[in-house]
Amino acid sequence: MAEQADSLRRWVHAKADDVTSEVLAGRLKGPHVLAITSGKGGVGKSNLALNLALALQVRGVATAVLDADLGLANINIILGQEPDYTVFDVMQGERHLADVVLPGPHGLMIIPGASGLAAAAAANLDQVATLLAEFQSLEAQVEWLVVDTGAGIAPSVLAFVAAADEALIVTTPEPTALADAYGLIRAVDETASPVRLHLVVNRTADAPRGQRTGERLAGLVAKSLQRSVAVAGVVMEDAAVARAVMRQEPFYLGAPKSAARADVDRLADYLLDRVPAPRRGGIASFVRRVLASVPRARGDADSDGRLPKQEPTHPMANSQGSPEAPGMPGMSGMPGMKEGPR
Ligand SMILES: Nc1ncnc2c1ncn2[C@@H]1O[C@H](COP(=O)(O)OP(=O)(O)OP(=O)(O)O)[C@@H](O)[C@H]1O
Ligand SMILES: [Mg+2]
């Protein structure tokens, strides 16, 4: 058993090294892998993942969205799609990834991943090989892979964040969400991953204040964790978002004049203008890194391969905690940390 796990690990690493050297040699154009994540749940990750991916796609940048929230897959619901197959069927060798991918608006690719990726924790060598080979086929077709993850600091979430090139950490201006975002950043930092961190303050009532709130959190992270987090921007509180969810149509298309769309456009420009070329080997290499760390949750997968929603084990991940955010260095008692001063 341990021997099999060892040989799997060696094989997976060798496979990814092949891809990485291809990318480094310039033979393969390495796509960017962007994980969208948050400390607190319900702050707007799935909506941001889908609408930001659309903004990239309409800019002529070939984009795919991977639904990797192992608890509750949401992307398809926001789009009003019902996938027939998921990555699980790819792993079983029953479908090719191309048959699982759903066509989204403007040619956006939607990859229903959740249950299949959860099951990957218990995958055997053949299944892992199949998954990697299939994902490798995306390498040449996609420039950005946007990964919608679950919230919190469970290993099954951190695996995706730590494996990405970039992570967009979504928070709202609420102290609980900020405290959980800080806790998540600390947990990512502890993985020693070179993932670059970016912050988005969603649902702000006032853009400059939201921006300042993000900068304060980034300042706190720089001071106490010596880790750099860039403030990518803000998204306004906008009733068009909830209306679009109800209609199961992305607000980017359904509400073209909305403030939320203008903000998402700015975020897409930020990503295209400010994010440097990826250097971690593209999509297959990303999947290899996820698979190499997901097995830590192996014992948790039930017979369907679904992982239970894990309780936060980190005190900072407790979104029910005090709004004063105890334990966040320099945060409790920090005047106006609820949302930046006017
Ligand atoms: N900018 C916004 N303005 C107004 N409402 C918003 C905004 N962003 C998100 N919402 C509301 O928050 C809800 C939750 O958003 P979403 O499902 O994207 O969050 P999530 O972080 O993916 O949640 P989960 O952690 O459960 O996966 C949306 O259905 C919408 O009603
Ligand atoms: Mg979600």
Q: How many whole angstroms separate alpha carbon 108 and alpha carbon 122?
A: 30
- Residue 336, pLDDT above cutoff 70: no
Question: Atom 9 (ligand 1): residue with closest C-alpha?
Answer: 44
Residues with CB under 6 A from ligand 1: 38, 41-47, 69, 74, 151, 202-203, 235, 237-238, 241-242, 245, 260
Quote the DSSP letter at residue 262.
Answer: H
Cα–Cα distances in angstroms (integers) from residue 165 to residues 137, 147, 185, 331, in the given order: 19, 11, 15, 28
Please tell me the distance between residue 123's alpha carbon and the centre of ligand 1 in angstroms.
Answer: 32
User: Which residue from 51, 245, 258 has its CB within 8 A of the most atoms of ligand 1, so it is best to mutate?
Assistant: 245
Please tell me the distance between residue 127's alpha carbon and the centre of ligand 1 in angstroms.
Answer: 34
Please tell me the distance between residue 38's alpha carbon and the centre of ligand 2 in angstroms.
Answer: 10
Please tell me the distance between residue 2's alpha carbon and the centre of ligand 2 in angstroms.
Answer: 35
Spans of all domains in the chain: 33-309
Residues with CB under 5 Å of ion ligand 2 are 45-46, 74
Q: How many whole angstroms separate alpha carbon 248 and alpha carbon 77?
A: 7
Q: How many whole angstroms separate alpha carbon 38 and alpha carbon 168?
A: 8
Check if the beta carbon of residue 36 is closer than 8 Å to that of residue 10: no
Question: Atom 26 (ligand 1): residue with closest C-alpha?
Answer: 42
pLDDT for 120:
74
pLDDT for 156:
84
At 281-333, the pLDDT tens digits run 899 899 889 888 864 444 443 333 333 333 333 333 333 333 333 344 444 33
Atom nearest to 238 CA in ligand 1: 3
| Alpha helices, H only, the chain | 2-24, 45-58, 75-79, 87-91, 97-100, 114-119, 125-136, 155-163, 175-190, 207-225, 239-247, 251-254, 259-274, 282-293
Please tell me the distance between residue 270's alpha carbon and the centre of ligand 1 in angstroms.
Answer: 21
Please tell me the distance between residue 166's alpha carbon and the centre of ligand 2 in angstroms.
Answer: 18
Question: Atom 23 (ligand 1): residue with closest C-alpha?
Answer: 42
User: Which residue from 37, 38, 43 has its CB within 8 A of the most atoms of ligand 1, so it is best to mutate?
Assistant: 43
Ligand (nearest to CA of 180):
1
At 173-228, the pLDDT tens digits run 999 999 999 999 999 999 999 999 999 999 999 999 999 999 999 999 999 999 99
pLDDT for 212:
98
At 22-65, the pLDDT tens digits run 545 554 557 999 999 999 999 999 999 999 999 999 999 999 99
State in words which class domain 33-309 has. alpha beta
Quote the DSSP letter at residue 73.
Answer: -
42, 46, 47, 50: CA torsion to nearest 10: 170
pLDDT for 236:
98
At 60-102, the pLDDT tens digits run 999 999 999 887 778 999 999 989 999 989 988 999 999 999 9
Name beta bridge partners: 206. none
pLDDT for 337:
47
User: Which residue from 37, 40, 70, 241 has its CB within 8 A of the most atoms of ligand 1, so it is best to mutate?
Assistant: 241
Does residue 29 or residue 265 have the better pLDDT? 265
Q: How many whole angstroms separate alpha carbon 32 and alpha carbon 54?
A: 15
pLDDT for 53:
98
Q: Within a 10 A sphere around the Cβ of 299, how many other Cβ atoms?
A: 8
- Residue 1, pLDDT above cutoff 60: no
Length of the chain counted residue by residue: 342
pLDDT band at 20 (very low <50, low <70, confident <90, very high): low
Please tell me the distance between residue 224's alpha carbon and the centre of ligand 2 in angstroms.
Answer: 29
pTM of the model: 0.83
